[in-house]
Amino acid sequence: MKWKPHKKTMLVFMVIFFLLVGMGGVFSPIAFAKENRELGPNDVQGKILSIRTNLLGRGVIEVKSDLTEKVYMFYVGLDTVYSSNYHPAVGETIKVTYFNDRGKLKAARVQIVKFLK
């Protein structure tokens, strides 16, 4: 019957461990969003600097962020969803929702925020 003291200490260690892991999981997205200073962890709004696509719609869009002035290069393709019936033009302001695929930022959704006149 020597297991009782060990069970109590293991229980205390498990509670402390899960509290620390839970606090780290709660506070890490907030710190990441503040550090990133964009619309969200995977959202960027900015002006289009250049567009290079082929006939199938695959290519690259370069966007200069409105908030951080950083230039992002997003890969677009057949899976990219555009909010309007046409592709955006150079100079328009867009919002891009993207994901990181092995170091490449791939655009999942492109919304036109400000149209050219």
Q: Report the alpha-carbon angle 33-37-39, nearest 5.
A: 80
Question: For the chain, how far is it from start to end, CA to CA, in angstroms?
Answer: 82
Q: Over the stretch 59-85, which tens digit does the pLDDT of each residue have?
A: 999 999 998 999 999 999 999 999 887
pLDDT recorded at residue 95: 94
Structure tokens at 63: 């966007």
Q: What whole-number distance in Å separates Cα of residue 82 and Cα of residue 101?
A: 19
pTM of the model: 0.66
Q: Would residue 84 be called left, alpha or beta, if left means φ above 0 and alpha means ψ between -120 and 50 degrees?
A: beta
What rounded mean pLDDT belongs to the chain? Answer: 82
| Position 33 confidence tier, pLDDT thresholds 50, 70, 90 | very low
